[in-house]
């Protein structure tokens, strides 16, 4: 559980802000990557999130944790980014060149299918899935990030899982380590 | 438990959120319902796939440079915001000045209008402004007091007389007539327009 001095943060204490960046910078990047499925975009949005958070720090009232607040900013930025960006082809850094070529092709296919399936989810479901599945975020916090009721947050996660499961059902037959 | 109940509780079951007795009911249902069992397995396998879905690590250089980069951007934007604010302040100051100027002008004009209505009456020296409304009041009073001459009537018909004409007309009045007029004018509500 984070224990930041909210007032100090709101006053713009740089030392405290550095702690926040060190603690949450990479976590934010992970969340944003899982929403946008692109390394460069995720890096850019994670950085932008921290900039905006500092600039708008007076608006943080401490009703939710700083992390929840940061994720909310990151999510809003990601949504805007999705609306504006042009589709880009990126060399998938998850693929290493040292493996067996057949395995690599298989891995590539799996990652591509996962990326496609996630990108087809509506943004709220993407975020609900990311935060619940990977971060194990309680539904109460998830509802704060998504600005909805707990029941709605739960439903969003369930819908996301069901949709992903439907989209990827044929992947279950693909063997090999991903 | 029917298939609908099973479906409603499936995600909670997968997440391990169901009480023990309900978990048992779910398992029992799967033992005799292949459709629900395959749905459960499908979701479970999908989640297994996602467990393996890794995030490319944040580049080390980026990780180290993150805070300086963020601070640099914050400083740049702070300067930009200050410039914008400066502009906004200047604009609002200018706008306020213009507003004050306009209000003052309107005030002065209103003040002048009031002055027109506030006649300083002296039987020896009749002082008034050359204002159409005031002149008409004067003329009507003159008529009421039977002190009019034909020119005066014509002037009313034309709805306008100038200052000089009015002065001439008033000069022709006797002292009694002026006093009578002054009393009459005192009782008139000029502000009513």
Measured between beta carbons, which residues in chain B are less than 8 angstroms from residue A154?
11
Residues above pLDDT 90, as percent of chain A: 42
In-domain check, residue A164: yes
* Residue A92 falls inside a structural domain: no
Could you list the residue range(s) of the whole structural domain that residue A25 is in?
6-84
Virtual torsion, Cα B95, B96, B100, B101, nearest 10 deg: -30
CATH of the domain at A61: 1.10.1740.10
**Count H helices, E strands: chain A?**
8, 0
Residue A23 in any domain: the answer is: yes
Report how far residue B22's alpha carbon sits from residue B28's, in angstroms, rounded to the nearest whole number.
10
- Residue A76 sits in the same domain as residue A120: no
Please check whether residue A146 lies inside any domain of the structure.
yes
Q: Could you give the C-alpha distances from B48 to A103, A109, B10, in angstroms and in order? A: 18, 16, 16
**Alpha carbon A71 to chain centroid distance?**
8
Q: Looking at residue A152, what is its pLDDT?
A: 92
Least confident of A154-158, B123-127, B149-153: B123-127
Q: Would you call A51 an interface residue with chain B, using a CB distance cutoff of 8 Å?
A: yes
Q: Into how many domains does chain A fold?
A: 2
B136 vs A170: which has the higher pLDDT:
A170
The last residue of a domain, from among A31, A50, A84: A84
Q: How far apart are CA A110 and CA B94, in angstroms?
A: 62
Nearest to B11 among A33, A114, A161 (CB): A161
CA A120 to chain centre: 15
Do residue B66 and residue A161 have CB atoms under 8 angstroms apart?
no
ipTM of the complex: 0.76
Closest CA to B23 of B3, B15, B39: B15
Same-domain pairing of A79 and A45:
yes
Residue A18 placed within a domain: yes
| Nearest-CB residue to B70 (from A51, A168, A172) | A51
Token pair, residue A125, equals: 């479901």
Assess if residue A178 is contained within a domain.
no
**Tens-digit pLDDT profile for residues B73-86:** 999 998 998 999 99
pLDDT at A70 over 90: yes
Q: What is the pLDDT of residues A92-143, one digit of tens each?
A: 556 555 566 666 677 777 888 888 888 889 989 999 999 999 888 999 999 9
pLDDT of residue A39: 87
**Rounded to whole angstroms, how far apart are CA atoms A125 and A123?**
5
Q: Which two tokens stand for residue B125?
A: 């020296």
Contact between B134 and B181 (Cβ < 8 Å): no
């Amino acid at each position: 559980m984070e224990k930041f001095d909210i007032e100090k943060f709101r006053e713009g204490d740089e030392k405290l802000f550095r702690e926040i960046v060190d603690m949450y910078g990479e976590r934010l990047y992970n969340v944003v990557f899982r929403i946008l499925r692109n390394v460069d975009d995720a890096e850019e949005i994670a950085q932008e999130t921290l900039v905006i958070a500092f600039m708008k720090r007076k608006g943080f009232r401490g009703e939710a944790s700083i992390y929840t607040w940061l994720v909310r900013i990151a999510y809003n930025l990601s949504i805007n980014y999705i609306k504006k960006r042009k589709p880009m082809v990126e060399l998938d850094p998850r693929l290493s060149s040292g493996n067996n070529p057949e395995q690599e092709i298989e891995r590539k296919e799996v990652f591509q299918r996962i990326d496609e399936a996630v990108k087809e989810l509506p943004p709220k479901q993407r975020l609900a899935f990311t935060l619940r599945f990977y971060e194990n975020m309680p539904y109460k916090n998830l509802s704060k990030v998504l600005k909805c009721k707990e029941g709605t947050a739960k439903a969003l996660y369930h819908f996301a899982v069901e949709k992903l499961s439907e989209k990827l059902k044929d992947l279950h037959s693909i063997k090999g380590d991903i | 438990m029917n298939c609908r109940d099973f479906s409603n509780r499936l995600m909670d079951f997968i997440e391990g959120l169901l009480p023990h007795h309900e978990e048992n009911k779910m398992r029992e249902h799967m033992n005799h319902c292949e459709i629900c069992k395959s749905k459960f397995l499908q979701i479970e396998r999908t989640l297994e796939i996602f467990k393996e879905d890794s995030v490319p690590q944040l580049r080390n250089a980026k990780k180290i440079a993150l805070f300086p980069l963020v601070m640099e951007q914050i400083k740049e934007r702070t300067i930009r915001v200050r410039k914008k604010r400066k502009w906004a302040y200047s604009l609002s100051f200018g706008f306020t000045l213009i507003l004050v100027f306009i209000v003052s002008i309107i005030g002065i004009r209103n003040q002048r209008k009031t002055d027109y209505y506030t006649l300083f009456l002296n039987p020896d020296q009749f002082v008034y402004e050359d204002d159409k409304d005031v002149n008409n009041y004067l003329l009507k009073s003159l008529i009421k007091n039977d002190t009019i001459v034909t020119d005066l009537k014509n002037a009313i018909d034309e709805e306008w007389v100038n200052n000089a004409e009015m002065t001439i007309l008033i000069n022709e009045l006797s002292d009694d007539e002026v006093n009578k007029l002054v009393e009459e004018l005192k009782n008139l509500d000029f502000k009513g327009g």
